[in-house]
Amino acid sequence: MSPVVQTFSLSKTFGKRTAVRNLNLEVFPRDVFGFLGPNGAGKSTTIRMMLSLIRPTAGDVRLFGRSVLTERSHALARVGGIVEKPDFYLYLSAVRNLEIIGALCGGVKRSRIFEVLELVGLRERAFDKVKTFSHGMKQRLGIAQALLNDPELVVLDEPTGGLDPQGMKEIRDLINHLARERGKTVFLSSHLLPEIELVANRMAIIHKGDLVVQGSVADLLDSGEQKVIFRGTPSNRIRRLLAARKSLVRAVQRVGTEIHATMEFRHIPDLVKILVRNGVRLEAVIPRRSLEDFFLSMTESSSVA
């Protein structure tokens, strides 16, 4: 399967500051690709280079196999995106804003404008002035703008920034619909880790301009150490047996009636056998490694290095 997005040693410097350094990414068809990093990590700079808004200092970006540097119009023909906060003419309606944006791209039929407004849940507000829209509605109008040309790749830079929980859920549901029902590839930049965990199937973490890790969300969360919750009786015996297996368990603590242990995922089956053989009545074994735990472990180790 050929990648939709590939970056090759992509780098960008601003004076003496390096914003992105030798970045190599691969995004495949129908991925929801989470591009993670703290503020200032280089996410928006990378997206600007992907969309040919700024030129890289070194390296290249290929979209659908075409170089953004040498085949710009062909590379971007199947792409739609928003970078940071979308801007609109607040005194004009949603329809009129999209008509103006569409005209810049060679013209868009009004039927298509109503189709994308329906898709993002704004059809009933089509003729309302954008100044009457909430922040979440403006974000959804920004996604409608990105969808005008019916792109195969949708690039969204921090689309849930500043939204309340309901607004975040609406954007998340829309991203899931675009990927699962419409067959779009979505490149999603964010520092909101729980949101990425809920929608992305693959991800990359960038920190201080450097790629820290890239791969399947499920595989990455299953690798390395994680917290595992053991529920059962007698709990004192669970704690004692786990604490005695220092080669398998790094740390053990009691939290209420539960025993929390830090270990590698691969050791869980062996420990379950040990507990059962020693008369423990297990009620549940719950791995609890979150994307936040993984993100912090990766960025902290990167900072140390």
Distance of alpha carbon 83 from alpha carbon 126, whole angstroms: 23
Domain boundaries, position 181? 5-215
Residues 32 and 156 grouped into a single domain:
yes
Q: 165-181: per-residue pLDDT in tens?
A: 888 888 889 999 999 99
Dihedral sign, Cα of residue 31, residue 37, residue 41, residue 43: positive
Residues 138 and 281 grouped into a single domain:
no
The tokens of 6 are what?
Answer: 């590939």
Q: Note the maximum CA span of the chain.
A: 73
Mean pLDDT, residues 111-127? 94
Residues 14 and 160 grouped into a single domain:
yes
pLDDT score at 298? 64
Q: 251-275: per-residue pLDDT in tens?
A: 898 988 899 988 887 888 999 999 9
Residues 164 and 248 grouped into a single domain:
no
DSSP 129: B
Q: 182-209: per-residue pLDDT in tens?
A: 999 999 998 777 778 789 999 999 988 9
CATH number assigned to the domain comprising residue 296: 3.30.70.100
Examine the pLDDT at 34 and tell me if it is beyond 70.
Answer: yes
pLDDT score at 304? 44
Examine the pLDDT at 301 and tell me if it is beyond 60.
Answer: no
Domain boundary among 215, 239, 271: 215
Residues 59 and 179 grouped into a single domain:
yes
Amino acid at 303: S
* Phi, psi angles (nearest 5°) of residue 69: -75, -40
Residues 197 and 290 grouped into a single domain:
no
Residues 184 and 236 grouped into a single domain:
no
CATH number assigned to the domain comprising residue 120: 3.40.50.300
**Which residues share a beta bridge with 194?**
none
pLDDT score at 133? 94
Q: Would you say 53 and 65 are in contact if contact means Cβ atoms under 8 Å apart?
A: no
Higher per-residue confidence, 67 vs 303:
67
Domain boundary among 215, 249, 267: 215
**Which residues share a beta bridge with 230?**
259, 285
Counted domains in the chain: 2
Residues 28 and 113 grouped into a single domain:
yes
Alpha helical stretches, state H, the chain:
43-50, 72-76, 94-104, 110-119, 135-146, 165-180, 193-199, 217-222, 235-244, 268-277, 291-304
Residues 135 and 113 grouped into a single domain:
yes
Q: 202-226: per-residue pLDDT in tens?
A: 999 998 899 988 988 877 776 656 7
Q: 73-110: per-residue pLDDT in tens?
A: 999 999 999 887 788 999 999 999 999 998 987 888 99
For helices 235-244 and 268-277, angle between their N-to-C axes, nearest 10 degrees = 130
